[in-house]
Amino acid sequence: MTPATDAAAAGHQLPQSIDILKIMQSIPHRYPFLLIDKMVEIHAGQSAIGIKNVTVNEPFFQGHFPSHPVMPGVLIVEAMAQTAATLVVMTLGEAFEGKLVYFMTIENAKFRRPVGPGDQLRIHVDKERSRANVWKFKGVARVDGVAVAEATFSAMIMG
């Protein structure tokens, strides 16, 4: 962690879970592009798990694919990024709520099996490093404990 992140993480305890309202307070994403419903097992400046309940009503299923609905892999990676962004904002505090976070890199993305209606994604994100306003994470999305997607990504929070 950077000294600023150390201070932010040490300065306040984060709740063990947060609901959709706190997620919406933390990041600017909204329907239909808000892709996490809840966060659990939150460790300030380090890791968290985002929950995405995948339903047949998701707008992307209309075209991907109507007769065999599959959640697009890029949206799973986006859900990883939203989980990480919420963790970063919660770690840094109120001054960063609603700030934009931009992808800088996506590396080693792997998609292991399709995700569809009825699945619950548990999106594990772990910080690899942070420098100033750039954070790098490793993300793994699981359904029923089985990895369905993974990626390493970095993003910049715009202050």
CA dihedral 136, 110, 148, 116 (to 10 degrees): 110
Instruction: Work out the end-to-end distance of the chain between its first and last CA atoms, rounded to an integer number of angstroms.
Output: 18
Contacts of 42 (CB under 8 A, 6+ apart): 14, 15, 16, 17, 18, 48, 49, 87, 90
Give residue 145's identity as a one-letter amino acid code. G
Strand partners, 75: none
Lookup: tokens for 156? 């910049």
Tell me the catalytic residues.
64
Please say whether the beta carbons of 135 and 113 come within 8 A: no
